[in-house]
Amino acid sequence: MASNLATKYSPKVSERLKAATVIGGLTNRNYDWVGVDTVKLYSVDTFAMNDYSRNGDNRYGDPEETGTTLQTWQVAQDRSFTGTIDALNNSQSMGVLKPGSVLARQIREEVVPEVDAYVLQVMATAGAAANRDDIVTDAATTKDNVWTNLVSLKADIVDNEGKDSGLIAVMTSDYYAFLLQSGFVLASDRGQSKNETGELGTVDGMKVKLCPSSRMPSTSGAIDLLIAHPEVTTFADVLTDYNISKNPKGINGTLIEGRVAYDAFVDVNKVNELALHAVA
């Protein structure tokens, strides 16, 4: 005799786990984008240094007129999404299609990873244009070179008149794993705390952020380590608009819409405070 086994659907939704945003704290919002899509940023040039002359009229040297350079930052990203929840589909799915949860899931799983990946790629592209991905060899990261590469990138930033405080090291989980194998944790600023609480803390004075490899950028090769000061990159979050509409025209149910307009810009005057490790 055949057995007819029962099937039951759980009212609980299995959520996919996603990392939080990586660019929080890594970028700045120093400029006002209200009502505009473009910001023009002046830089003022300096004067050449001269040998002072004790004779003649121009003892300080020939006067130079103060010059300026201009950066133009125009927002290019205008992204959107839309979806519906049919009233009967929701009713016949045990009511698991809750509009608020659907929107939150979209932001967590689609919007945040896309924005992170875009901003990090902007940083990497600008860094590569300034040869900031060519500081150390592009050999694969191992437990033997992982620490040397990290401190070499930081040293290069400092050597190029960059700040040695406030730097953030963004790395893949593989890079971090090699750091652990190299023994850095016990020598780091919060090594014991890491062992006790699982917090990453800082290494060589830099805050450590782990980034999913799918969001990490590439230049001459895949980037597994990016070090930057927050002042280097400006994040322009000009519009974030999410809407949940109940029974809009033509739909029996819920319409979910979202629009995000954003961009990121690396200040050419501060690009030396950005360093990358690219693996060919």
Spatial strand order in the sheet of 253-266 = 77-86, 253-266, 233-246
Strand ranges (DSSP E) for 29-113?
38-44, 68-74, 77-86
Per-residue pLDDT for the chain (280 aa), expressed as one digit of tens each? 666 665 555 566 666 667 789 998 999 999 998 889 999 999 999 999 999 999 999 999 999 999 999 999 999 999 999 999 999 999 999 888 999 999 999 999 999 999 999 999 999 999 999 999 999 988 899 999 999 999 999 999 999 999 889 999 999 999 999 998 987 654 455 555 554 444 467 888 899 999 999 999 999 899 999 999 999 999 999 999 999 999 999 999 999 999 999 999 999 999 999 999 999 7
Number of helices followed by number of strands (H, E) in the chain: 7, 10
Kindly list the domain boundaries of the chain, sorted by start residue: 38-279
pTM, to two decimals? 0.88
Looking at residue 275, the DSSP 8-state letter turns out to be: E
**Residues in contact with 227: Cβ distance below 8 Å, sequence separation at least 6, in sequence order:** 150, 153, 154, 157, 167, 168, 169, 170, 206, 274, 275, 276
CA triple 203-205-206, angle to 5 deg: 70
